[in-house]
Chains A and B, each alone.
Chain A
């Protein structure tokens, strides 16, 4: 399945785009996606931390991803 990942803040600089698409096996987890992203974009590992959000909720590594989910990479937040 093709997964689109939205990027914000520094993640947009790392991806060089506001979103990227990746191929993942069906029933992949957030952990699998994180692994694939870090392989493609090693600079992600230099961030202080980051989270993945699925459908506007912070996701856990074991959560399953579905093709139509809205996925976003959330670097350390700094609002306010």
Chain B
């Protein structure tokens, strides 16, 4: 498996990600694009701010990709994650996975995003009209 992991402070390029995972051996590519939603539980969100502990985030993503490779025959996997301020509609996370058959690509892509949300040291702050809050920090 060939992988590419990047934590970036600049906008993510979806087409570049797809081109990177494409190969003659692939029968399909699954792409997950996270986008900034304009509300949380009915409360309007103005923007999100993302912060990463970069060396550990990359190490944890490497672990996830290794687990995915053990579970499914995937060929290439790319994970890009943003830091900094993102407006509504912008892309904080981009995952692209190629495999010989679609099942492996679909399942691996879902596993990667689901696990990333649980283990990778990246944090988002929601910014509202009247304040801001670090997501999931308090009970």
Contacts and interface: CB of A to CB of B under 8 A. Distances in A.
Interface string B106-133: 0000000100111111111100000000
Contacts of B116: 79-80
Contacts of B53: 6, 8, 53, 72, 74
Contacts of A42: none
B interface residue count range (under 10 / 10 to 19 / 20 to 34 / 35 or more): 20 to 34
B136 interface: yes
Given A8-B51, A10-B134, A48-B138, A77 B121 contact: yes
The interface residues of chain B, by DSSP majority, are classed as mixed
B134 A78 contact: yes
A48 B93 contact: no
A61 interface: no
Nearest to B133: A10
A47 B122 contact: no
Contact of B117 (A10, A47, A57, A79): A79
Interface of A: 6, 8-10, 13, 46-48, 53, 56-57, 72, 74-80
11 contacts: A9-B134, A10-B123, A72-B53, A75-B123, A77-B117, A77-B119, A77-B123, A79-B120, A80-B34, A80-B116, A80-B120
Given A8-B53, A75-B123, 4 more contacts: A9-B125, A48-B138, A79-B121, A80-B117
